[in-house]
Amino acid sequence: MATSPPHSDAQLLPAPEADSQLSSLVYDMLQQFQGAMESMLKMINEIDQNSTGIMEEMEKCKDSALERKRTLEEEKERFQKAAYTVLDMLNSGD
């Protein structure tokens, strides 16, 4: 006993109308997909621009920190020399 498959809505519609609805559905889906892709591309571009700005700012901060470290090292050496000079003067006065 062969049974026929259940009838779907598309099978109840005349073929040209079903094709038209399917084409319309596919077109709408493609339009939504294209809109989503354009939005994602804009976001990717914004992220790239922000990322570049952040990387540049990080490089500036790194350079500034290295310069500050050098300055502090120089100050440390000057204070150590001054302290050793004072200790030498106190030791030689004994």
pLDDT along the chain (94 residues), means of 10: 52 72 93 97 95 95 97 97 94 77
Q: Which pLDDT score, from 0 to 100, does residue 9 have? A: 52
pLDDT of the residue at 47: 95
- DSSP type of residue 13: S
